[in-house]
Amino acid sequence: MNGSSKSARGGFASRLGFMWAAVGSAVGLGNIWKFPYITGEYGGGAFVLTYLVCILVVGLPLMYSELIIGRRGGKDILGALRDLTKEAGLPGTLLSWLTGAMAVLTGFLILSFYAVVAGWAVHFFVLSVGGLELNGGAGETFGALVANGPLAAIWHTVFMAITIFVVTRGVQGGIEAACKILMPTLVGILGILLVYVAFTGGLGESLIFLFRPDFSKLSGDAVLEALGHTFFTLSLGMGVMVTYGSYLKDEIHVLRDGFWVAVLDTVIALMAGAVIFAVVFSNDLEPSAGPGLLFATLPGLFVGMPGGALVSTAFFLLVVFAALSSAISLLEVVVAYMVDEFGVLRLWATLGMGFAIWLLGLASAFGLNMPGFLPEALGGGQAVLDTLDNLTTKYLLPLGGLLIAVAAGWMLSKQDRESGFSALPGNGGLLVSSWTFLIRFVTPVLILLVILKGIGIIDFSD
C-alpha cells in the first residue's frame, strides 16, 4: 500500500529503531515515578500481580490493535481511523473524528504537565551534580521547588526545548537516533543501581515486598488502579502506538515487537521498584509515601548513602532520560496529526505545537489552580497539574482505548486483524482467536469499569 508516500513521511530505519522508540515512549515517569508509589500505596505483591495480569489481558491486546491500525493506515491517528471506518462502510466519520481529536488533545494535555514533572527531575539532577546539598532535607527542597514558579518554569522550559528539538529532527534522525542512545543508557544505569543496592542492603526486603502477594491487601480499587495504569505505562489510548506503527514497514513483526515493548516496559518498572524500595527499606521507611516518594523521599535517603551524590546523579539522569523519550512520543502524535491532516511542514508543526504545549505547561509549573467557577468534576479551584493528570489518566486515555478496541475488534477486516499473526506457525490459530475474543468483549468491558470508577459510579474502596 502507498509505499512511496509512506517513505516521504519518514519512518524508522530499522526494526530495532522502532523498538527503541516504542520502548522509549512506554518507559517513562509512569515506570519510575508512578508505578513504585502506587505499588507502595496498595501494599506490594498482590498489586504487582494484578498489574501483570492487566498487562496481559488488556495491555497486550490493545498494543497489538494500535500497532496494526497504524501500520495499515500509514497515517496519523485521525487519518488512520477515518480510512478504517470508511472502508468498513460505516458512517464512522464522527467516531473517527472524536477518537482522533480526543487523542491529539490528550497528548497535548499530558505533555503540558508531564514536562513540568520531568522538569522537577532535571532540577534534582542538577542538584545532585552539584553534590546534593539539600537545604533542610529532601521534602523541604521539593516543597520549595514546587512553590517556586519561576524555577519550576525554567526547568519545564529546558525540558520542552530539548523535546521540541528532537522532534523537529524527524522520525529517523530525531526520535530513533535519540531513543537508540537514551534507552540502552537507561537500562545500563538501572542495572548499575540494582547492583549497588544489592550491596548496600534492602534488596531482599524490596523483592519480597514486590513479589510476595498478600491478597488481604488487595481491594477493588487497587485492581482498577492497576488497570488504569496499564494504559499510561504502555502509552496506550491516545495513538502513540498507532502513530509509531504507521512508520513501520511491514506487519510481520508487529506482534512480536509489541510483545517485547510490553515486556521491557514491565521489567524496567519492576527494576525501578526494586531499587527504590531497597533504598526505602534499608532506611527503615514506609513504602507508602505516595506521589512524593521519588522527589521528597529518595533524595533525602541518597544523602546518607555511600557515594550518595553520584548515585543520585545517575538516578535522576535515568528519570530525565525516561521522561524525555516519552515526551517525544507525546509531541510526535500531535505533530503527525498537523503534518498528515493539514500538510504543515514538520518543522513548523513541531515549533508551533511545542510552543502551545509549553505555554499551557506554565500553568502547571506556576502551580495555578483551575478557575473556581468550574464544576468540581472539571477541577474547579484545584491545581491545574492534578486536574490534567486526573482528566487524562482516568477518563481520556481509557475512553480512547475503548474506541480503539472497538475499531480494532469490530471494524478491521478479518485479513487486517490477522495480518500481524501471519508469521506464526499455523497463522497464529489459537492466539488469533484469543486476541479477537479479548479485544471484542473483555477489553471493552474492563475499560468501561475503569471509566465508571473514575466517574464515581462504582466504588470499591472497601
Binding site for ligand TRP (CB under 6 A): 25-26, 28-31, 110, 232-233, 235, 237-238, 240, 326, 329-330, 397
CB of residue 462 to ligand TRP, shortest distance in Å: 29
Q: Which is nearer to ligand TRP, 384 or 397 (CB)?
A: 397
Contact predicate 244/21, CB 8 Å? yes
Query: C-beta of 223: minimal distance to ligand TRP in Å?
Result: 19
Tell me the closest approach of the beta carbon of residue 273 to ligand TRP, in angstroms: 13
Query: CB of residue 269 vs ligand TRP: minimum separation in angstroms?
Result: 8
DSSP state of 172: I
Choice between 109 and 365, CB closer to ligand TRP: 109
Cβ neighbours of residue 179 under 8 Å, at least 6 residues apart? 17, 20, 21, 23, 24, 325, 328
Q: In this complex, which beta carbon is closest to ligand TRP, that of residue 134 or of residue 331?
A: 331
Our CB check for ligand TRP shows the closer of 54 and 397 to be: 397
Measured CA to CA, the distance from residue 312 to residue 454 in angstroms comes to: 35
Rounded to a whole number of angstroms, the minimum distance from the CB of residue 265 to ligand TRP is 8
Q: What is the dihedral of CA 68, 74, 77, 81, to 10 degrees?
A: -70
For helices 15-26 and 308-342, the axis angle rounded to 10 degrees is 110
Rounded Cα distance, 12 and 129, in Å: 34
**Nearer Cβ to ligand TRP, position 163 or 282?**
163
Q: Name which of 72 and 229 has its Cβ closer to ligand TRP.
A: 229
Shortest reach from residue 249's CB to ligand TRP, in Å: 22
Cell of 319: 528519570
Burial 407-433 (b: 16+ CB within 10 A, else e): bbbebbeeebbbbbbeeeeeebeebbe
Q: Of the two residues 28 and 119, which places its CB atom closer to ligand TRP in the complex?
A: 28
- The residue among 195 and 263 lying less far from ligand TRP, judged by its C-beta, is 263
Quote the least distance from Cβ 238 to ligand TRP, whole Å: 5
Task: Report the 10 Å Cβ neighbour count for 3.
Answer: 9
Residues in the chain: 462
Question: Angle at which helices 45-54 and 203-211 pack, to 10 degrees?
Answer: 60
Give 228 or 299: the residue with its C-beta nearer to ligand TRP.
Answer: 228
Closest distance to ligand TRP from the beta carbon of 87 (Å): 26
Minimum CB separation from ligand TRP for residue 142, in Å? 19
- Closest alpha carbon to 321 in 160, 139, 118, 17: 118
Task: For the CB of residue 170, give the shortest distance to ligand TRP in the complex, in Å.
Answer: 18
Find the helix packing angle between 308-342 and 346-365, rounded to 10°. Answer: 130
**Side-chain half-sphere exposure of 366, counting CA atoms within 13 A:** 10
H/E stretch holding 234 reads none
Number of H helices, E strands in the chain: 23, 0
Distance of CA 70 to the CA centre of its chain: 18
Q: Which is nearer to ligand TRP, 92 or 237 (CB)?
A: 237
Minimum separation from the CB atom of position 214 to ligand TRP (A): 26
Of residues 29 and 370, the one with the C-beta less far from ligand TRP = 29
- Residue-by-residue DSSP string for 246-304: TT-S-STTHHHHHHHHHHHHHHHHHHHHHHHHHHHHHTT--S--GGGIIIIIHHHHHHT
